[in-house]
Structure 1
């Protein structure tokens, strides 16, 4: 019998969220960058599960994806970065900041070969991550830039937001703390609305972990913390999503709702001249749409993630976020999907969850000790005697 979301343990929520994020990533990977109509044409209808590469057996050479084997249950850089961040938490054993990214994440990407599912080989993670993530290595390792400011100048996209679920889980049920920690961490990677999205996504995951959390409480939390264009985009998408319970009818209206805030433009593979530049008026597309699809799917993992996948565009990251949120709320990915992704990717998807659960409990114990020490000090300061 599946536990009620209100009785799920911390370990359950962390596991559902992290495994859910990885499975969503793997489902979205093979159709990333395409439109809903192109997806229908390629697959003879909507995607309802794990599918093969867009170009079939020609994935090694077919542009624009080559040489990555996207599909067949392979996770992408979203999951690789998420797992890398969990390793940083394990190494530090405490809350993270931008300096932890410089001191631990960058060396991990640069020096330690790992199995890369899309390359079907062991390689440095640096050889797989996207240009916006390679920025971390260029700026922090080679440029010796102050980690708190290193994100300035990078292209503004979802690169930091896509792997911030662990920050929300470490700060489970404390979205304000998750928001602040993610903003600090993301300062090494992103600026402007890319950094803002990282904070808001982490806060949404933390809110989803709270006992009794609902779709409304998660979205309300995101809106209460989000600033500028990010807040406006979430508000616009959530308003439209509230009128749909079937992703088929929601695909076009949600894209229309987010379009005024998205700098990439209508052709995802040919971004506009104003794409990915800092702005207080704009937002990444992925986070508002992930929240919108979560609403459309009523928090159910399968419905929410398939809605994200069939949206196309940057749907591996959208499905990663939707999967993390649905999982944290208590809706796990289907076991057959999880098994297939783990086997195809040759990754233990549960091991990072066990690690993060243990670290989260250690951090909470430290937080409690620090809080009580502060209480004692403050009491002494205010004692009238």
Structure 2
């Protein structure tokens, strides 16, 4: 690669939060949402309220005290501010961007992401267990998995393509093609597009949903429409949760029992959608930019709530709304993760990629002008 010069300076006056602010907010928002949702993943809103004496309002401990041996929970530490595979995959993808320093595709996943997951240390004593879980995300080279395993960590693609939802959508579809198909892959594209749209100066939750609907296809689009038609009727998450579940259930192949998926779960279909993305967008509308209302809505929804909270947290952060500092600090310390360094690195890479995009665009414009010049 020869076009490695520093990006040109600009005299434009920044409008609202900067790219660095939005990137830091999105990544911190995703990690905190992941950590908040992890300990209650798989349970219903009713079970969550019974276990915690009401809705979860912050960081809580594991569902079971004997979490190391409890079943059917994954045998690693969920709770007390610990992130899950959603955040670890997100940070792994950022490391791939740091290596490639350009747009990614499925080959980048094969050549960089898989080796990274095999060699990078994760979370100390739980490394082996976390690594096993991460391996499941990329465990099918035929690309026939259909779940939220790609959408949950696709926010960096949206941040690299900040302000360009269509570009983010196309890149995410390519990246996700290494291990997802059908509506699982589609959700990855739409989530990335939504994050890119959220980075646009002046963006609102409503404009983010509009951008998602402009690109979403098939059952994913219909599910987002159905959920968001319900969401706009509510200003608080608690009364909305059963209605949101009712709206998405016709499109969800997992079925009513999250831990006992139906026979049709995760099969390719043009009629269905993963549950997590439409719910995250619906809660974004209900929260109207407030991080606590949006992400706590995702957490108390239950089911795959760590992934829902990861997605909704990334969207609120990309909009430039603050993530509670006390949660960010607690999650960073508990998970032994530096949440600032990945954001700084991704911001620098995004600037480099944009510079290359400008150079490529200008070369194309010059070539096209020469081809169409009147002689």
Q: TM-score, normalised by structure 2?
A: 0.94
Question: 2:223 touches 2:251 (CA, 8 Å); kept in 1?
Answer: yes
Find 1:128's aligned residue among 133, 151, 165: 133
Q: CA RMSD in A?
A: 1.3
Find 2:121's aligned residue among 114, 125, 140: 114
For 1:239 and 1:130, locate their aligned partners in 2 and report how far apart those are by CA, in whole Å: 37
For 2:128 and 2:68, locate their aligned partners in 1 and report how far apart those are by CA, in whole Å: 16
Question: 1:52 touches 1:72 (CA, 8 Å); kept in 2?
Answer: yes
- Residue 275 (1) aligns with residue 283 (2): no
For 2:126 and 2:235, locate their aligned partners in 1 and report how far apart those are by CA, in whole Å: 41
**Structure 1 residue 32, shift from structure 2 partner:** 0.2
- Residue 226 (1) aligns with residue 234 (2): no
**Structure 1 residue 42, shift from structure 2 partner:** 0.5
Match of 2:160 in 1: 170
For 1:121 and 1:257, locate their aligned partners in 2 and report how far apart those are by CA, in whole Å: 37
Question: 1:113 touches 1:125 (CA, 8 Å); kept in 2?
Answer: no
Question: 2:76 touches 2:126 (CA, 8 Å); kept in 1?
Answer: no
Find 2:184's aligned residue among 165, 169, 194: 194
Question: 1:29 touches 1:316 (CA, 8 Å); kept in 2?
Answer: yes
- Residue 103 (1) aligns with residue 111 (2): yes
For 1:165 and 1:237, locate their aligned partners in 2 and report how far apart those are by CA, in whole Å: 21
Match of 1:47 in 2: 56
- Consecutive unaligned residues in structure 2, runs of 5 or more: 1-13
Task: After TM superposition, list the pairs within 5 Å mapping 1:291-310 onto structure 2.
Answer: 291-310=281-300
For 2:123 and 2:234, locate their aligned partners in 1 and report how far apart those are by CA, in whole Å: 38
- Partner secondary structure for residue 7 of structure 1: coil
Alpha carbons of 1:237 and 1:264: their partners in 2 closer, same or farther (altered >3 Å)? same
For 1:348 and 1:127, locate their aligned partners in 2 and report how far apart those are by CA, in whole Å: 22
For 1:113 and 1:230, locate their aligned partners in 2 and report how far apart those are by CA, in whole Å: 34
For 1:6 and 1:296, locate their aligned partners in 2 and report how far apart those are by CA, in whole Å: 25
Match of 2:94 in 1: 86
Question: 2:22 touches 2:319 (CA, 8 Å); kept in 1?
Answer: yes
Match of 1:22 in 2: 31
For 1:315 and 1:39, locate their aligned partners in 2 and report how far apart those are by CA, in whole Å: 11
For 1:71 and 1:124, locate their aligned partners in 2 and report how far apart those are by CA, in whole Å: 16
Question: 2:76 touches 2:130 (CA, 8 Å); kept in 1?
Answer: no
**Structure 1 residue 61, shift from structure 2 partner:** 0.7
- Partner secondary structure for residue 180 of structure 2: coil
- Partner secondary structure for residue 139 of structure 2: helix
- Partner secondary structure for residue 109 of structure 1: helix
Q: TM-score, normalised by structure 1?
A: 0.92
Question: 1:114 touches 1:123 (CA, 8 Å); kept in 2?
Answer: no
**Structure 1 residue 134, shift from structure 2 partner:** 4.1
- Consecutive unaligned residues in structure 1, runs of 5 or more: 140-149
For 1:330 and 1:368, locate their aligned partners in 2 and report how far apart those are by CA, in whole Å: 25
For 2:330 and 2:264, locate their aligned partners in 1 and report how far apart those are by CA, in whole Å: 40
